[in-house]
Structures are given as structure tokens and as C-alpha cells.
Amino acid sequence: MKILNTIIKALLTKKVLGPIITIIIARIIVLIFNKAISKILVKGKNKFEIKRRKTIIELFQSIFKYLVYIIAILIILDIFGIDTKSLIASLGVVGVVLGLALQDTVKDFIGGICLILENYFQVGDIVTYKDFTGEVIELGLRTTKIKKASGEVLIVANRNIDEIINSSQKTAHLLLDIPTAYEENIATVEKTLKEVIKKAVKDKIILEDSSYLGVNNLASHNVDYLIDIHCDQNNRYAIRREILGRIKTAYDDNNLKIPYNQIEVHHGQDL
């Protein structure tokens, strides 16, 4: 019985209970913060926005977790009588040295956070950095990777991204001239093009603002009919090909001619 009382008394001492309670409280604080920041940053947002903010949420959670655990460790050391003030001072000096040595990395880190928070761009966006245009394939906390249509990948340190053009935050406008033979009836051509646009809108390939604009040019061999296609910026090239293919099919179905260069060869005796 005396042994049991001794054990219980030992367990109830400050040096045993203190660390346990400190660890439990630290864990609870981290869990509460994780849930709170997730709700705050994604509240009222759609799935697209939630995906975009996932990186920064995890970043905040990680930073806060380590901060709380460092404080918890200092409290536990203090419970055991270790001078934490001198330890904090030493850590401060080490932090300053590391900060100076890794200042470019810190700038990249801060730059990555700003890019995510300010919504400059996200993975999948088409952007232009200086004279390089391509798709953002990776947005990290240190670097951003942009892939050109031809396959080249540009890796940019986040601290260097001060100006960038994002083409994906606006709707693309494709102004397409459709060359048609002079002998074709204007009303028939206009009706055909309007039907192609209407069907593409119905199929959700292009946006409702797309329209037929009219005759745009009287060229030497053909009449150019202009259409305005509104579509997703990221898929504009594929959509352009799709619309041109549909127009070619519609022209074939309606016996409308698309002119092309022809060479006539005459023998001297036939002239």
C-alpha cells in the first residue's frame, strides 16, 4: 500500500503532470486551429477555390503546429528547471544567422505565399512571364514552373515574379475569318455559320456570347465571313480546331465552297 501511495504521489508531482498536461493542451490547440483555419479560408468557396487554397492552408497549419510545439517544449524545460531564457537568446542568434544565410530562400517562400493569397495565377493557367508564354504546371513555395506549348519548361524563383500576365482570368475571344466562294449566297452562308455557333453553344463547347459578325473582307478570290467565339482561355486552341472542323462539315452538308488556289495549264496550240 505504501508503495502504491508513493507511486501515485510521484505521478502527481509537477514534473510528471506538467509535461503531460502541456502536451495535451498543445495538441488540442493545434487541432482547434487546423479546423478553424480550414473553415475560414474555404467558407463560401467552390471546389475550384478550395483546391487553390489547399497549399496555403497546409502551410499555415504546419507553421502554427511547430510554433505551438516549440512553446510547449520550452514550458516543459522550464518545469524541469532549465534556464529557457538563455536558450531562447541562443536560438535567436542562430535564427538571425540562418536568416541572413537563407535570405533568398525566405524571399522565395514569402513570394510563394503572396502568389497563392493574391491569386496571381494557379496550376493550369496560361501566363506570360517576360517573353515566355506557357501553362503553369507547378506552383510551389520556392519556385513556379511554366511549360511552353513546344515543351520547354521555365523555372522561376518566386521572388523574381514581380510582373506576370495571366491570360486565364479572362474569357478568350477568337475572331475567325471563314473564307467562302463569291458565288455562294450570303443568306445561306450566314444561316449556316449561325447554326454552327448555336449548336456549339448548346454542346457547351463555346460560351453564349459567341456570335456571327458579318462580312469582314472582300478578298481577290473569296469573301471572308467573321465570327466571334468566346471560350475558355485554357482550351482556346482545341476549341478553335473544333469550330473550324464543324464549319467544314457544315459547308460540305450545305454544298458551300471554300475556295483554294488553282493553277490552270494551257498548251500553246489551245490558246
Please report the pLDDT score of residue 100 as a whole number: 55
Please report the pLDDT score of residue 71 as a whole number: 85
Residue with cell 533568398: 104
User: In the structure grid, which three cell numbers stand for residue 55, read together?
Assistant: 497549399
Please report the pLDDT score of residue 193 as a whole number: 96
pLDDT along the chain (271 residues), means of 10: 58 69 87 79 54 64 81 82 69 58 67 71 81 83 84 88 76 88 94 95 90 92 92 83 95 91 62 50
Find how far residue 80's CA is from the centre of its chain. 49
**Model confidence, pTM:** 0.47
Helices (DSSP H) in 102-209: which residue ranges? 103-117, 186-202
Of all helices (H) and strands (E), which one includes residue 231? Answer: strand 223-231
**What phi, psi does 146 have (nearest 5°)?**
-120, 130
Give dist(CA 238, CA 244) in Å, integer. Answer: 10
Which value, to the nearest 10 degrees, does the dihedral of the CA atoms of residues 190, 196, 197, 202 take? 140
What domains can be seen in the chain, in order of their start residue? 2-101 (1.10.287), 120-166 (2.30.30.60), 172-253 (3.30.70.100)
Please report the pLDDT score of residue 192 as a whole number: 95
Please report the pLDDT score of residue 83 as a whole number: 72
